[in-house]
Structure 1
């Protein structure tokens, strides 16, 4: 049977700052991110299966991405925990703000790597993550492809 790619799109609002950066993005700011998640697999060919004809139920894919990415990053501010931004993070948390400290510089490039790892761990064995596209602005995005990252 043919391999089929399925894509679901998500959106979320996230703030961040790039410590040590030489441009405006060193300041705390936010983006309306758009995330496209593409998985690949073979449609279920068992006519008795409730998901007959599907690679994966869009609802199942939505649940994974929502729990791992959207619910965590939406309306949060993300800082690299290995920078002095931890002081700002603590002050914001103390005032009731949603703050995340990550092990990486929170660029679109590094976020999409993090997302790929999280989503891959949750997918059923017969489904593979094919690609991710994280759009930061209307004209700027980072892409991750499994074919470029065979070690995952």
Structure 2
């Protein structure tokens, strides 16, 4: 098991607070700094989309939220390498706690995917904002 994130991993997010990508952009999800974060606009659902570029098996997802801006209901969907734009593989649904420390979620469904979509269906924030300081995806390359 190793981190599936690399400089080649393409990341897209549903929104960025005030469109301020320098301060709150997607790059802060994986920059390793505890001082930076991705911060979404208000409104639900929000999502993070990862394209690994080749087939992987996701085993765990690690997220570090800012308390008060936590995704309460999260759905992880995958797309097969043969159909990368079709997120029809239900990997897991998980329910993070409204806390600051890193939380690790096991992925029950083991199937090779090329893209991962993490959907935040609910938020602990009244306005539906999500703040993530760290994201990691653990698994194996196929």
TM-score, normalization by structure 2: 0.28
Relative contact order higher in (CA < 8 Å, ≥ 6 apart): 2
Higher-helix-fraction structure:
1
TM-score, normalization by structure 1: 0.27
Rg larger in structure: 1
Higher-strand-fraction structure:
2
